Structures are given as structure tokens and as C-alpha cells.
Structure 1
């Protein structure tokens, strides 16, 4: 389950209802989906074929469909980052540049861990995501994404339009 760290005080929030409330107050959607039906050979597998990625999308089709209907999302895909990813350090450097999008940025963590650092109404906060966690950062909210020390994640990305996913960098 996710946890939060408030950057100005380093306060750690672990209570799931407190996390949901904090994120809701900052217009960030948070859900936790059941990952137990993911086929065993895809759990903690970071070397995914296109077929494997489709199986992941198929496994979570009901949830993806439900949130897409509620939010107007039109497409989804699967990304995998790990020590076998070419140029992982360069990718992470790019991800860690503060930016925003003109569309929601939605990630559902299937395996591994990811961290979103988001500019909230009062301060920046970190959302540490684990398998089953879904987050949607609203349009035009400054943020960046990184990995924790394990340096690996498999995540479903869900979006309205790929053009809305192009990052707009706030600081050059």
C-alpha cells in the first residue's frame, strides 16, 4: 500500500484513509486495485514481451474500463523499467525534471515501486507506490516521477490522448 512523505517536514503518512484524504484534498485520485489475479509468470517480471504487456492489460481490463469511463480515458499501455532497461539512468534523469501535462498522468503499479513527487496546495509531497496502487495527477500540476532504491517498476499508463502526455517543463 502507498505511503506519503511531506517534504517540508518529512512527516510520513501510512494510514490509508489519511492518504486518500490528503490526496483528495490535492485533487489527486488514488485507488488500490487487487493484483492477485495477475498470472504468476508476470508477477515481478520486468523483461516483458508485447504479449506479456497485453496479458497485463487484459488482467486489469475491468478496472481500466471503469476508470476510463469515469474520466474519459481512451488508451492504455504498459511500461517496464529495471536494470535491464537501456539508458535507465538517463531516463530517470529526464523523469526527475519537474514538469506538468495538459492531461491527467495516470499510473497503476503492477510490480515494483514508483514515487511521484507532486506540488500540493501547501507543499511538495511524495507518493510512494507499491503493486496495486493507482494514482492520477491532474492536468497542469507540477510533479515528477522516479523509482525507489529497487530501481524497477512495471506500470500501466492510462491517458485520454497521447498529445496530452507530452511533458511541459517548468524549469529549464
Structure 2
């Protein structure tokens, strides 16, 4: 179950209708995809071969095609992060930097957990704690960053508007 945490007030909620409404009001797309269709050998597997990654993309081929048709996405890939990932600390440092993109940033959590921290329409940042099956799309030009949950493991499908992927625009700090 996805949980939203408002950073300023500390308020948390996980009621599915409230989560969907809150994200919708902030123009964030949120969907839940079926993770039971994932081959058992890939559930909670964080050391994926290229073949494993392709199997994940093939497993969600119809769903990826559907959202791509609706939103104009043209490419997708799979990323796996865990303690076994080379240079994990450097990658997380880059992900944790506040930025925006000129395209949607789309992620489907396949295994593990992730947290998007997003600036809401009211200027307050909120956390979206994602679990397997959660798909989120952060709109273009919205300040945000991504981090791992306490378990520090995630496998995610990333879906792109441009085949080159996202280009982060980092926020300058005064």
C-alpha cells in the first residue's frame, strides 16, 4: 500500500482513495499494476541479467504499450539497485539531488521499495512511498528527487518520452 507523507506537517495517509485523490490533485499519475504475473525467479531478485530485465519488460508489455499510447512514451528499461550495485552510493547521491525533467518521469516498482519526494502545487514537498506494483509519473518541470526506502533495494521499470531517457535539470541552491 502506498503511503503519502507531507514533509512540513508530518501528516501521513495510506487510504487508497485519499492517496489517489491527493496525487491527482498534484497532477501525478498513479496506477497499480499486477505483480503476481512476474516470474517467481524475478521476485525480490536484485541481481538481474540483461535477459532478466527483458523478461520483466516482456511481462509488462501490454501495460507499457497501453500507458505509452495514452501518454506518448517511446522507450522503457529496467533498473535494479541494491547493495550489490557497483557505485550504489554515488548513484543514490545523484538521485537524491533535487531536480526536474522536461518530460514525465515514470517508474513502476517491480520489487523492493522507492520514495519519490515531490514538490506539491502548494510548494510543500511530499513523499510517495512506493511498493511493488505501484506506478507513478511525475509531471514535467516538477521539482522532485528519488531515494530508496530503508531496505535500500528496488527493481523498477522506467518509461520514457524520449528514447535517450530523462535529462535531469538540477536545481541551483543559493
TM-score, normalised relative to structure 1: 0.98
The residue that corresponds to 1:150 in the other structure is 151
SS in 1 for 2:137: strand
For structure 1, the 5+ residue unaligned runs are none
Once the two structures are superposed, the pairs formed by residues 93-112 of structure 1 within 5 Å of their partners are: 93-112=93-112
Question: Segments of 4+ in structure 1 off by > 4 A?
Answer: none
- Output the CA distance in 1 between the equivalents of 2:87 and 2:10: 31
The residue that corresponds to 2:66 in the other structure is 66
Residue 88, structure 1, aligned to residue 92, structure 2? no
- Output the CA distance in 1 between the equivalents of 2:55 and 2:148: 24
The residue that corresponds to 2:44 in the other structure is 44
Contact 1:75–1:160 (CA under 8 A) maintained in structure 2 = yes
SS in 2 for 1:165: coil
Residue 55, structure 1, aligned to residue 55, structure 2? yes
Contact 2:160–2:166 (CA under 8 A) maintained in structure 1 = yes
CA shift in 2, pair 1:164/1:140, >3 Å: farther
SS in 1 for 2:107: strand
Instruction: Give the count of matched residue pairs.
Output: 172
Instruction: Give how far 1:87 is off.
Output: 1.1
TM-score, normalised relative to structure 2: 0.97
For structure 2, the 5+ residue unaligned runs are none
Instruction: Give how far 1:99 is off.
Output: 0.2
The residue that corresponds to 1:161 in the other structure is 162
